[in-house]
Structure 1
Amino acid sequence: MSDHESKFTVWGFVKGFAKLIIGTLLLLQGLIGLVVLLLFVGVLVSVTNGIAGSEEDKVSVSIPDEAALVLDPNGILVEMTEEVNPLEAIQREAYGISEPTQISVHDLVKVIRAAKDDKRIKGIVLDLGAFGASMSSASKLHYINDELIKFKQSGKKVIAVGDYYSQDQYLLASTADEIYMNDYGNLIVYGYGAYGTYVKSFLEKLKITSHVFRVGTFKSAIEPFIRDDMSPAAKEANIAYLDVLWREYANRVNSARGLAPGTIENYANNLGSIMSSVDGNFAKAALETGLVDGLLSRAEMNEKLVELFGESKDGKSYKKVGFTRYLMAQHGPSDGAAPNVAVVTAAGAIVDGEAPVGRAVGGDTLAATLKKAREDDKVKAIVLRIDSPGGSAFASDIIRDEIIALKAAGKPVVASMGSLAASGGYWIAADADEIWASPTTITGSIGIFGYFNTFENTAAEIGVFVDGVGTTTLAPMLATGIGPLPESASEIIQLSIENGYDRFLTIVGNGRGLEKTYVDEVGQGRVWIGERAKDLRLVDNLGSYDDAIVAAAKLAKLDKYDVVDLRERRTPFEIILGNLSAKAATSLGSGNPQQSQGMVTKILKAVEDQAAFFEEFNDPNAAYARCITCE
């Protein structure tokens, strides 16, 4: 060893200490990996057993006589729930991270219908404090609302209890025979609105160049990037459908509560003056207006429910069965003797390629499911259930190809529009034999757009430039991003967008039997509400999901049939391993459990959501048929 190597130096000490730290971290990483692997194996076994059991047998649930079914869904109302990765769920629970789950509208309807005919169930208790819904979910809420009314018509009671009520929670609660709220609670009704954040001036300050390609007067998806306010055309389109949503909400609440016409509208518009008359007490404002029947503490609410349904065995509560346990008891296969009407659901933004069901509509994923229905001899008709703002035009067309193939195979296709079936969501519906929508379905938005930014001016501000040579007039596109977008390329993209819009018009015209010029008149990217869409011949009938199933069976001339939910089924391995790359990225950023506190979490979650939003824009032609303002 040389004298130089044998001498102690500060730098040598630092390097040695760093090696020790790194070695320790690598050891810890290995141990953590081993623990995760053991957890993985245990979860995999339990999940596999759980899935096998749920497919073969009903779960036995003990329900006392004359009990209450407690509808206490904890999560956000959706058309179709995402597959839950049990490994992620364990990790969130271990770190105390609480994320809202998803609640399928069809699961809620299923348990209400079962309870209506279940002699053990005396009534329903609505406990909606952990339940939420987006503005665009109006038709889902109305669907549940209608089932609660049918439940009441069977002679059974519905009681609503809660510390407070959001606007969406109150729509369901308004169907109850009696509504009770905490004496220090609140009930605020906002109505409906469409507001966005506009960043044109912000982008200009950063010297970011926005490139916009669109067709359609009302295609407002990219307005936030090119304006500092909502355009008059967008305001006109938005207020038209928002007025219908609000009218339907108000009519349902006033009717369910037996209130004079205009009562809930007055409550929303003049809450300040109503509050003044009751010394600023939210709870009394709701009581005096007739929106609730009584103000009770939690203990008093429990006593009221014990009076109605009897005391539980432990003497601490009333006789009841929870929503989740009762739902589990409803699962069970049919005898398989009858032909099938297959329901294929397109829920979420439409993206190119594959995507997990419930999270997005992968063009290849949904096309494969439709192909499966086409090749299954037992499937005689298909209901394409759509709850989507659209997205990739290319992926939409891939899905449409399979719908045409189904019809060519002699299998009728009925499109059933959920709360939202706009833009690409309408693209995939256009060729169906029949289109059904609810009066409050948000649809239309027939238009195409393309948008991206380049940063040549931003880069120049800090002394970064792009230069080079190429062999064609399009070669400079290789530098686009930090470099500018060549004018020749801009012209090509705009021509492609115009061609895409023309294709959209042709698809709708041919599918609906309408003149292309007429489709253009009602298109232009404008959003329509379901009842108006029927007048414009964009949909055939107004009705529910169940009506669409009956229509499909009728087209297939089926007197007896089973309804099957046809979707991609992933194995436990695929569920757990399917998103490892996303989890790895998350662990380096917004998903770090150590960052899960307060406002920081909210900011990081917003960034994560925004990143996920942009990941949905993956059309190979950069052409999108998507209604962003509808979402």
Structure 2
Amino acid sequence: MSEDDSKFGVWGFIKGFGKLVIGILLILQGIVGLAMLLLFVGVFIAIGNGVGGGKPVGAHVPKDAALLINPNGVLVEEAEVQDPFTHAIERAYGSNEPQQIEVREVVRAVRNAATDERIKGIVLDLTQLYIPTISASKAHYVASAIDEFKASGKKVFAVGDYYSQEQYLIASHADEIYLHDKGSLVFVGYAAYDAFMKTFLDKLLITPHVFRVGTFKAAVEPFLRDDMSPEAKEANLAFLGSMWTSYKAAVEKARGLPAGSIDRFANDLNAILRESNGDFASAALKHKLVDHLSSRPEQLDAMKAAFGENDDGESFKNVELADYLMAIGPEKDGSNPDVAIITAAGTIVDGEAAPGVAAGGDTIADYLKQALKDDEVKAVVLRIDSPGGSAFASEVIRDGVLALKEAGKPVVVSMGSLAASGGYWIAAPGDEIWAAPTTVTGSIGIFAFFPTFEKAAQYWGLNVDGVGTTSLASIYAAGAGPLEENVADIFQQSVEDGYRDFLDVVAEGRKLDPAYVDTIGQGRVWIGERAQELKLVDHLGDIDDAVEAAAKRANLTEYDRVNFRETISPLEVFFGQTAVRLMSAFGVDRSGAEASRSIVRKAISTVEKELALIDEFNDPKALYARCLSCGN
């Protein structure tokens, strides 16, 4: 062995030994740090137990209490994973920032309360709950759970200063509805309005280059027109009309009203208000939309009469939704075989994305791969609530679905409020597709969008010039320079190829002729009921029906539902519960919570949401299967 080799060997040994020592020290440091943290928390738990009377960590559910469903935020399919410690601090110090409210968690709480002997009834206070109009199926799902709860013989009350149209869809299923005597209830129906920017872009000297296939691909019309095309109006009115019909039928049935009552109240509101001297609340009572008109103190007294007073006499005996969910804990994975639920919610983007933010192609594909490798998982339900997005990411997800099917694991698709464009792309290969009657789906089409600013650049004296080694090199100048015809042709050919792929994906998955798929495709949107007639959907039902169907396909009589998603660790849950206990023990006042966000903050939030769309357009080939007119 040479001297150099000897030196290298000695030096390698020294470095390796050094790494080992440092590694051991880091591990010991971590263990000591964790021990100190646990000791610190333990001391505070002891103090908290001393001050608070030694009650266990976690939410307390009083006997004969009402489950108070009073969420503050937006109803969503899948919520962002929230740090429980931060959440506890915010609640303790009176922060009332709107949150994402997961619809399945609301339904889980309602169903659990039906058999919970501690729960005497439900009080719906939906004033702070925002339900997007496109999320009608979520409101229907909660309303259905309320009906199941009522079947147990327990009462449901709805209280509020006012009711939005979507809030009222849920509230209408209560046994009694209280409305503030100065409140309001108005039905505006459903609508689709866009800002059309052709003239606006012309004045800004911006040239939009849109590449699309299909008569009904209305997603790109705002860039090319100053009004909605007749084809888009026809398509929009068709699915909006179906949503409105479902809404009216549900409310009229729940309230025992004659057919046509909601239409009359909506369309004849001017005359109805004149009869009530402009009093919205009196009009709602007269037309049997509510049962009681009362002030806040009167509503509180009514709930005290129904459930009794809490310990301090300030309110009625209740447990809030968030606390009740903490008390009953998460769904547990037992010893039975699993039906995995994997959710793709939000815009489909390339790469990874956190739950509640977007549906990352790689993220969803990883969950599908986990389900494939997990021997306990016998079937998968792919829950989709998405307007689509990246065509490439959609294909990555579809590959994961196909791999499961090839391995003999059934994949049943459950559509939420929305499964359009790329959302349908990933649904097509499912063994079965379930949709709600009001699900917005279809939009089978592809588009690409590329704006250039050569006119603005010329106006301001900015000139682009240069040389390139190929005929495509001019793409480097695109933007400040024009989009050359040969490059534009490549975009268009790519879009047309993408559309043919989309037709093939649907035809293969649904066992349909591609020519037929083209006739119902071309970017047109369909409602769940109509989609079933067109063979884009197999059955109408909710996620519970889809889970049952998946279990049946896997020949399972007993099974556990397991959600594959990012979760918080048991240690994080422990610290979060401890924080709640400590804040309560030390009497931190939560009364300073703001009632709601101001109009200005809501406006800012809306702008931020629209700007966030820019980040969602990250397809490697700039090809998008997305229904922009469907919302989020």
Would the TM-score normalized by the shorter structure come out above 0.5?
yes
Whether the 8 Å CA contact 2:333–2:560 is kept in 1: the answer is: no
Structure 2 counterpart of 1:610: 610
Tell me which amino acid in the other structure corresponds to 2:227: D
Structure 2 counterpart of 1:533: 531
In the alignment, the residues of structure 1 paired with residue 426 and residue 306 of structure 2 have an alpha-carbon distance, to the nearest angstrom, of 49
Residue from 127, 147, 151 that aligns with 1:149: 147
Residue from 102, 116, 119 that aligns with 2:117: 119
Within the alignment, does 1:400 sit opposite 2:398 as a pair?
A: yes
Whether the 8 Å CA contact 2:381–2:411 is kept in 1: the answer is: yes
Within the alignment, does 1:235 sit opposite 2:233 as a pair?
A: yes
In the alignment, the residues of structure 2 paired with residue 232 and residue 404 of structure 1 have an alpha-carbon distance, to the nearest angstrom, of 38
Deviates more, 1:306-315 or 1:238-247: 306-315
In the alignment, the residues of structure 1 paired with residue 535 and residue 211 of structure 2 have an alpha-carbon distance, to the nearest angstrom, of 28
Tell me which amino acid in the other structure corresponds to 2:518: D
Within the alignment, does 1:197 sit opposite 2:195 as a pair?
A: yes
Q: What secondary structure, in the 3-state scheme, does the structure 1 residue paired with 2:314 have?
A: coil
Q: What secondary structure, in the 3-state scheme, does the structure 1 residue paired with 2:219 have?
A: coil
Task: Rate the CA distance shift 1:536–1:317 in 2: closer, same or farther, 3 A.
Answer: same
Structure 2 counterpart of 1:619: 619
Task: Rate the CA distance shift 1:350–1:570 in 2: closer, same or farther, 3 A.
Answer: farther
Aligned ranges for residues 123-522 of structure 1 at < 5 Å?
A: 123-332=121-330, 334=332, 336-522=334-520
Task: Rate the CA distance shift 1:484–1:571 in 2: closer, same or farther, 3 A.
Answer: farther
Whether the 8 Å CA contact 1:369–1:568 is kept in 2: the answer is: no
In the alignment, the residues of structure 2 paired with residue 330 and residue 597 of structure 1 have an alpha-carbon distance, to the nearest angstrom, of 30
Task: Rate the CA distance shift 1:399–1:173 in 2: closer, same or farther, 3 A.
Answer: same
Whether the 8 Å CA contact 2:157–2:177 is kept in 1: the answer is: yes
Deviates more, 1:343-352 or 1:276-285: 276-285
In the alignment, the residues of structure 2 paired with residue 480 and residue 99 of structure 1 have an alpha-carbon distance, to the nearest angstrom, of 43
CA shift digits 1:330-349 (9 cap, x unpaired): 22463631110000000000
Task: After TM superposition, give the deviation of residue 66 of structure 1 in Å.
Answer: 2.1
In the alignment, the residues of structure 2 paired with residue 97 and residue 416 of structure 1 have an alpha-carbon distance, to the nearest angstrom, of 35
In the alignment, the residues of structure 2 paired with residue 447 and residue 341 of structure 1 have an alpha-carbon distance, to the nearest angstrom, of 32
Deviates more, 1:64-73 or 1:225-234: 64-73
In the alignment, the residues of structure 1 paired with residue 151 and residue 85 of structure 2 have an alpha-carbon distance, to the nearest angstrom, of 44
Using the size of structure 1 for normalisation, the TM-score is 0.85
In the alignment, the residues of structure 1 paired with residue 453 and residue 528 of structure 2 have an alpha-carbon distance, to the nearest angstrom, of 41
Tell me which amino acid in the other structure corresponds to 1:475: A
CA shift digits 1:441-467 (9 cap, x unpaired): 100000000012100001111111101
In the alignment, the residues of structure 1 paired with residue 93 and residue 153 of structure 2 have an alpha-carbon distance, to the nearest angstrom, of 46
Whether the 8 Å CA contact 2:133–2:190 is kept in 1: the answer is: yes
Whether the 8 Å CA contact 1:241–1:528 is kept in 2: the answer is: yes
Task: After TM superposition, give the deviation of residue 308 of structure 1 in Å.
Answer: 1.3
In the alignment, the residues of structure 2 paired with residue 368 and residue 496 of structure 1 have an alpha-carbon distance, to the nearest angstrom, of 28
Whether the 8 Å CA contact 2:124–2:156 is kept in 1: the answer is: yes
Task: Rate the CA distance shift 1:155–1:626 in 2: closer, same or farther, 3 A.
Answer: same
Task: After TM superposition, give the deviation of residue 571 of structure 1 in Å.
Answer: 7.5
Residue from 565, 572, 579 that aligns with 2:563: 565
Whether the 8 Å CA contact 1:508–1:514 is kept in 2: the answer is: yes
Q: State the superposition RMSD in angstroms.
A: 2.7
Q: What secondary structure, in the 3-state scheme, does the structure 2 residue paired with 1:619 have?
A: coil
Percent pairwise identity: 56
Task: After TM superposition, give the deviation of residue 315 of structure 1 in Å.
Answer: 2.1
In the alignment, the residues of structure 1 paired with residue 524 and residue 544 of structure 2 have an alpha-carbon distance, to the nearest angstrom, of 28
Task: Rate the CA distance shift 1:87–1:122 in 2: closer, same or farther, 3 A.
Answer: closer
Whether the 8 Å CA contact 1:59–1:329 is kept in 2: the answer is: no
Tell me which amino acid in the other structure corresponds to 2:450: F
Task: Rate the CA distance shift 1:533–1:313 in 2: closer, same or farther, 3 A.
Answer: same
> Which blocks of at least 5 consecutive residues in structure 2 are unaligned?
1-35, 46-55, 573-595
Task: After TM superposition, give the deviation of residue 287 of structure 1 in Å.
Answer: 0.9
Whether the 8 Å CA contact 1:59–1:328 is kept in 2: the answer is: no
Task: Rate the CA distance shift 1:229–1:332 in 2: closer, same or farther, 3 A.
Answer: closer
Tell me which amino acid in the other structure corresponds to 2:610: Q
Task: After TM superposition, give the deviation of residue 568 of structure 1 in Å.
Answer: 3.4
Task: After TM superposition, give the deviation of residue 611 of structure 1 in Å.
Answer: 2.2
Task: Rate the CA distance shift 1:342–1:451 in 2: closer, same or farther, 3 A.
Answer: same
Aligned ranges for residues 35-50 of structure 1 at < 5 Å?
A: none
> Which blocks of at least 5 consecutive residues in structure 1 are unaligned?
1-40, 51-57, 575-595
Whether the 8 Å CA contact 1:59–1:331 is kept in 2: the answer is: no
In the alignment, the residues of structure 2 paired with residue 230 and residue 71 of structure 1 have an alpha-carbon distance, to the nearest angstrom, of 40
CA shift digits 1:417-447 (9 cap, x unpaired): 0010000000001001111111111000000
In the alignment, the residues of structure 2 paired with residue 93 and residue 71 of structure 1 have an alpha-carbon distance, to the nearest angstrom, of 16
Task: After TM superposition, give the deviation of residue 97 of structure 1 in Å.
Answer: 8.3
In the alignment, the residues of structure 1 paired with residue 550 and residue 452 of structure 2 have an alpha-carbon distance, to the nearest angstrom, of 48
Task: After TM superposition, give the deviation of residue 288 of structure 1 in Å.
Answer: 1.0
Task: After TM superposition, give the deviation of residue 260 of structure 1 in Å.
Answer: 1.5
Aligned ranges for residues 64-143 of structure 1 at < 5 Å?
A: 64-84=62-82, 99-143=97-141
Tell me which amino acid in the other structure corresponds to 1:400: R
Q: What secondary structure, in the 3-state scheme, does the structure 1 residue paired with 2:630 have?
A: coil
In the alignment, the residues of structure 1 paired with residue 450 and residue 386 of structure 2 have an alpha-carbon distance, to the nearest angstrom, of 22
Task: Rate the CA distance shift 1:604–1:332 in 2: closer, same or farther, 3 A.
Answer: closer
Tell me which amino acid in the other structure corresponds to 1:619: D
Task: After TM superposition, give the deviation of residue 89 of structure 1 in Å.
Answer: 6.9
Higher relative contact order (CA 8 A, sep 6+): 2
Task: Rate the CA distance shift 1:537–1:477 in 2: closer, same or farther, 3 A.
Answer: same
Task: Rate the CA distance shift 1:604–1:419 in 2: closer, same or farther, 3 A.
Answer: closer
Task: Rate the CA distance shift 1:335–1:514 in 2: closer, same or farther, 3 A.
Answer: closer
Tell me which amino acid in the other structure corresponds to 1:623: L
Task: Rate the CA distance shift 1:572–1:617 in 2: closer, same or farther, 3 A.
Answer: farther
CA shift digits 1:274-299 (9 cap, x unpaired): 11111111111111111111111111
Tell me which amino acid in the other structure corresponds to 2:609: D
